[in-house]
Amino acid sequence: MDHLIQKLRTPLLVMLHDMSMIPLAWLGAYWLRFNLGPLPTQMFTSALQLLPWVIVAQTATFYHFRLYRGVWRFASLPDFLQIGKAVIIGSALITLGCFAYDRLESLPRSVPFIYAALLPLLIGGPRLLYRDWKDRISLPSNRKRALVVGAGKAGEILIADLLSDASAEYHPVILADDDPRKQGREIHGIRVVGGCRRIPKIVRKYRIDTILLAVPSASDRQMRRIIDFCEQSGASFLTLPSPKEILSHPVSGKDLRRVSIEDLLGRKPGQLDWAAIHDHLYGKTLLVTGGGGSIGSELCRQLASLTPESLIIFDSCEYNLFRIEKALQQNFPRLQVIPLLGNVTDPDAVRHVMDTYRPQTVFHAAAYKHVPLLEKQSRQAIHNNIIGTQTVAEASIATGVDEFVLISTDKAVNPGNVMGATKRAAEMICQSLNELNKTRFVIVRFGNVLDSAGSVVPLFRQQIQTGGPVTVTHPEITRYFMTIPEACQLIMLAASVGNGGEIFVLDMGDPIRISYLAEQMIRLSGKRPEIDIKIEYIGLRPGEKLHEELFHHEEQLSSTPYAKLRLAHPRACDRRIIANIINQMMMACRRHDEEQLLILLRTLVPEFHYLSQPSELSHPQDIPSSRTM
């Protein structure tokens, strides 16, 4: 019974308050009509005679517009709109009633208009004051006022957690969401007041200390838009993790973290056929060359989750091999992990691994990839990226490997540097060997991966930590980006759906200006570009192009059933010509003949435009051009 009385008390008190404001507004309208002076006796009498009708008509409209379902504690714009509608309709009814009573002879014409302007102030003012007072007394002094962006499931769970946790650092005050259907609604008493575009105004109006982003499924483009508005507001901002991270445990305020560059450039979700990937790789013996590198190690982690029979990790770096072995032993204690030191250019070591462990699928991730460094060391690039690929591919065929997956790069398309040309040559090797035996050769091509070793992201991060400057080669230079986990997922998908001989091109989204990347990383570190941290443009490095391409103009591009996986139909490759050139490359490598190696590389990859190449180099007469392949 007490609980019922408590529930009824608030609407009853609100109704009594509003009814008491009606005579104040009505008599106040007369007072203002007569310039704040004393009312004539006849007018005062007439006003009192009409007052019962005014109270009845206005209270009826208040009830009709449900003014008593709202809670003063959360009064906001929709409530005041309802008050305005109720007052306007009520004023019209009052005027009509007075007209029917005495043709408005006892009612000054301006009184209904003054009344209609005065009553909303008397009705809405106390609501605003009460809400402001409650906001002040209910917010612990040690908690920060927070704007939550995102009125979906993640936002609802986050708000509930913050409100129930007395030790939480943040107190949700207001919500923002771009969905017009959610605007004006409340989640756990927190009102959705507008879209993301209004974030700067909301921050100022509600004295927000921190913005909490509860939009884990937002695409990279949507995330960049939201962050732009957050930066304009001047408030600090945090975000919830990605959907994949959230799936592992329930959302809570403890999951909030600083926005990273991966949130801005790599959040677009891709629909993967995990059932097909699992069915294809489950229970198999898998080999990953270069398994200790940035992409290789993440690929090993994801392959381990598919419960293979065993996972062989082949890498030339002892420390990297040690790290990935320990990580897999900790996270997958039942998996048979076989870490092997070795080089893909060592035929005996590679053949021994293949003969001993008989892998069914080979993921070839071993490659040199640093563009400027390899420009002056073409012998090492060719030896590792071309001859190494040939060595592993031939050993795979000899031991009956089911499929060989080559991890390539967008730099292989119309290459302008040695690294890109060697990766294009590796693609051609795999294409030429595809029909020789039962081994299927599948090629996966994509652009830059965020935070991979030697990439621009860790370089920028280090430069920011030391106070700058952040060095960018050119203001207009662009690159494609995706996260390492997503790249590895799409590699596994390509392996499961490839028939052999294809080049799968990963949909990288829109290319990103490196200068934008630098600016965002500076801002996300809490600094201001060109004020706290300078950006210095140092010019293009040897072999570096302004814009990369994902496929050659002669490669007919087609879609696949998977949104982020496209198919580039390969160009024809003559296996005999390729084998002849690679044999000569092997001999030139033994002689360390850099000049001859560059000639052979240009012959094998005719679209290769080597800007640093000496002018006297020309094609040898005894080697047919691969233009005829």
Please tell me the number of Cα atoms within 13 Å of 625 on its side-chain side: 8
Return the SS3 of 338: strand
**Which residue has 């006849």 as its token pair?**
42
DSSP 3-state percent helix, strand, coil across the chain (nearest 5): 50, 15, 35
Higher pLDDT, 530 or 588: 588
Q: Which amino acid is at 563?
A: A
Q: Whole-model pTM? A: 0.66
Distance between start and end Cα atoms, the chain: 90
Q: What angle do CA 99, 102, 108 make, to 5 degrees?
A: 70
Coil, helix or strand at residue 339 = strand
Q: How many CB atoms lie within 10 A of CB 448?
A: 25
Tokens for 493? 């998908």
Residues 6+ apart with CB under 8 A from 400: 358, 437, 438, 439
Cβ neighbour number for residue 365 with a 10 Å cutoff: 26
Cα-Cα-Cα-Cα dihedral of 451, 454, 457, 459, to 10°?
140
Q: Specify whether the CB–CB gap between 540 and 610 falls below 8 A.
A: no
d(CA 595, CA 73): 79
d(CA 460, CA 472): 9
Alpha-carbon span 175 to 194, nearest angstrom: 8
DSSP annotation of 571 reads P
The token pair that represents 209 in the structure block: 């200390």
Q: What is the β-pairing status of strands 535-537 and 470-472? A: parallel
Q: How confident is the model at residue 623 (pLDDT cuts 50, 70, 90)?
A: very low
**pLDDT score recorded for residue 315:** 95
| CB half-sphere exposure, 385, CA atoms < 13 A | 28
Instruction: Give backbone dihedrals phi and psi of 112, rounded to 5 degrees, phi first.
Output: -60, -35
Q: How far apart are CA 96 and CA 113, in angstroms?
A: 13
- Distant-in-sequence, close-in-space partners of 288: CB < 8 Å, separation ≥ 6: 296, 299, 300, 303, 311, 312, 313, 314, 362, 363, 365
Query: Between 249 and 352, whose confidence is greater?
Result: 352
Note the pLDDT tens digit of each residue in 281-325.
999 999 999 999 888 999 999 999 888 999 999 999 999 999 999
Residue 393's pLDDT is 95
Q: How many CB atoms lie within 10 A of CB 487?
A: 25
Condensed to tens digits (0 to 9), the pLDDT of residues 420-464 reads 999 999 999 999 898 777 899 999 988 777 766 667 878 888 888
Q: Looking at residue 586, what is its pLDDT?
A: 94
pLDDT tops 60 at residue 56:
yes
pLDDT tens digits, one per residue of 62-113: 777 766 655 454 455 667 777 778 888 888 888 887 877 777 777 788 888 8
Tokens of 214: 């509860």
pLDDT band for position 614 (cuts 50, 70, 90): very low
- pLDDT at residue number 113: 86
Categorize the per-residue pLDDT at 615 as very low, low, confident or very high, splitting at 50, 70 and 90.
very low
Q: Helix, strand, or coil here: 317?
A: coil
Higher pLDDT: 325 or 19? It is 325
DSSP state of 512: E
Report pLDDT digits (tens) over 156-169: 888 888 877 777 88
Closest by alpha carbon to 451, among 326, 288, 265?
265
For residue 40, the model assigns a pLDDT of 76
Share of the chain above pLDDT 90, in %: 27
Is 408:445 a contact under the CB 8 Å cutoff? Answer: yes
Instruction: Read off the pLDDT of residues 489-527 as tens digits, 9 standing for 90 and up.
Output: 888 888 888 888 888 887 777 788 888 888 888 887 778
Q: Token pair 């030790």 is at which residue?
A: 167
Is the pLDDT at 369 greater than 80, yes or no? yes
**Per-residue pLDDT reduced to its tens digit, 211-262:** 998 888 777 778 888 888 888 888 888 888 665 554 444 555 666 777 777 7
Q: Can you give the pLDDT at residue 592?
A: 93
Q: 86-105 in b/e burial notation, b at 16+ Cβ within 10 A? A: bbebbbebbbeebeeeeeee
| Structural contact between residues 375 and 608, judged by C-beta atoms closer than 8 angstroms | no
Q: Chain-wide mean pLDDT for the chain?
A: 81
Among 341, 348, 230, 357, CA closest to 286: 357
CATH architecture for segment(s) 140-259:
3-Layer(aba) Sandwich (3.40)
Q: Transcribe 226-245 into DSSP letters.
A: HHHHHHHHT-EEEE---HHH
Is the separation of the CB atoms in 229 and 199 below 8 Å? Answer: yes
Locate tokens 């305020």: which residue? 253
CA of 566: how far to CAs of 252, 299, 503, 507, in Å? 37, 20, 9, 7
pLDDT (average), residues 156-184: 84
pLDDT band at 419 (very low <50, low <70, confident <90, very high): very high
Residue-wise DSSP of 383-404: IIIIIHHHHHHHHHHHTT-SEE
The predicted-structure confidence for 315-350, as pLDDT tens digits, reads as follows 999 999 999 999 999 999 999 999 999 999 999 999
Cα–Cα–Cα angle for 286, 289, 294, rounded to 5 degrees: 110
Residue pair 533/527 in contact by the 8 Å Cβ criterion: yes
**Secondary element (H or E) of residue 147:** strand 144-149
Closest residue by Cα to residue 499 from 450, 435, 580: 435
| 500 vs 495: CA distance, rounded Å | 9
The token pair at 255 is 């999951």
Stronger pLDDT, 38 or 180, i.e. the higher one: 180
Under DSSP, the state recorded for 529 is B
Residue carrying the six token digits 């292989």: 412
* The total number of residues written for the chain in this structure: 629
Please give the average per-residue pLDDT across 380-401, as a whole number: 95
Per CATH, the architecture of 274-366+439-574 is what? 3-Layer(aba) Sandwich (3.40)
When pLDDT is averaged across residues 55-62 and rounded to a whole number, the result is 81
Q: What is the pLDDT of residue 344?
A: 95
Q: How far apart are CA 124 and CA 114, in angstroms?
A: 16
For residue 264, give the nearest of 461, 530, 510, 489 by alpha carbon.
510
- Band (626; pLDDT cuts 50, 70, 90): very low
Report how far residue 411's alpha carbon sits from residue 455's, in angstroms, rounded to the nearest whole number. Answer: 14
Domain with CATH 3.40.50.720 in the chain: 140-259, 274-366+439-574
